[in-house]
A and B are shown apart, each in its own frame.
Chain A
């Protein structure tokens, strides 16, 4: 608990400092409004959109896409990692192609995804998926490959069925690695979701940004950026909370 409180205070202090700097730059320092809106203007825009309800569909759209992409990417990443782990031959065969795909700049491919999958939801999910899939794959693979060989002896001794072995031994043992991948993937998912909304469509926080930018509504732009940052923090905090719950059994080394 004290650790959580401390990090909460640290987060809060950093945020407050940023806010003060922002306020100073937009107020006393006299930056022009169309370049830097004041915090007051930004928050009042945000508040208005909350009250009249026009914010929620956009927020929901982005969150929904992130969660979907994250979930599908995580399941697929873990599944492929398990297959590669179980079939070392296949994994040496696929090593090269996977490295190429993994290092390919997915964000630069976003327009191509639109060409392939259209302007709708599919292209957005594909982009998010491609960003989440690889970190989870790498993390899960490291997790599976790091399993203590004596746990396998145990599985053999107890004649565990493949599914029992997966759920009772392999999956929990690989969870620390999977979470490393998931946390990287979550940040990527947010970037992917917003980017996909920049490119096409008329929903989501990313769309709000391009709309605000095009119409010089800088307070709205700032509100959207702020909300996106908060979403990123919430995502990270949520995953960390789940992690510390699920991995409470882990021996903490160092920290």
Chain B
């Protein structure tokens, strides 16, 4: 579609289109998305939780007018949930309905036809005739064997179903794989993909994200939120606040009618931003105490 061509004509086009969809990309993000479209390669997106990896795939689907097909990974995910499976119950019912006089061969052909096929996200993406974006979310959760299955599909864009034959993709869809980095993915999978690491945003981008996602916030408060979060991320914490936590915090402050964040407000609401007690204590201590008495910013 022509829409898509405009978006991907050049790098700035990609970035602008994403911004229109309220996704604030930096040079790296926009560049890799642009390149992925050009090269027809999947993108493997890694980074801390809550930094916009999943959202990126959604937003790219939105700006390209594509349907998002999402495969949420979990431990134990297998072919039958990722690719396809036969509708066993329905098959049984059919067998019973046929009674005993039907010719077995006919029934069997019938049983393994389209009607009884349960299409799962990977097959769905391959068979799609309309433009789609395939999101394989949190791929680091699946076992290595399932990863091999994914790799196979991403290399060939075809699936062979013994009873039905080979299904080839009509188009190479845009594919995003995300990982929170809980384990190393296989070298083979990484080689197949373009790699994009999404880190916490810098001050300017975070401020823009806050403004875009919490439109009712005023500019001054958004700026303060972004600044405080940046300073907190410089502390040596167990878990840094993510973008989603920044947004939660911004929404909380708006709800409370806060105009200006002072130490008291920050202390009261720190639990929205930070998840560990020790982290909260550390942050409160850093920001409520007089910095002149401290040796300088912790690192």
Q: Note whether A and B form a binding pair.
A: no
- A: residues with CB less than 8 A from B are none
- B: residues with CB less than 8 A from A are none
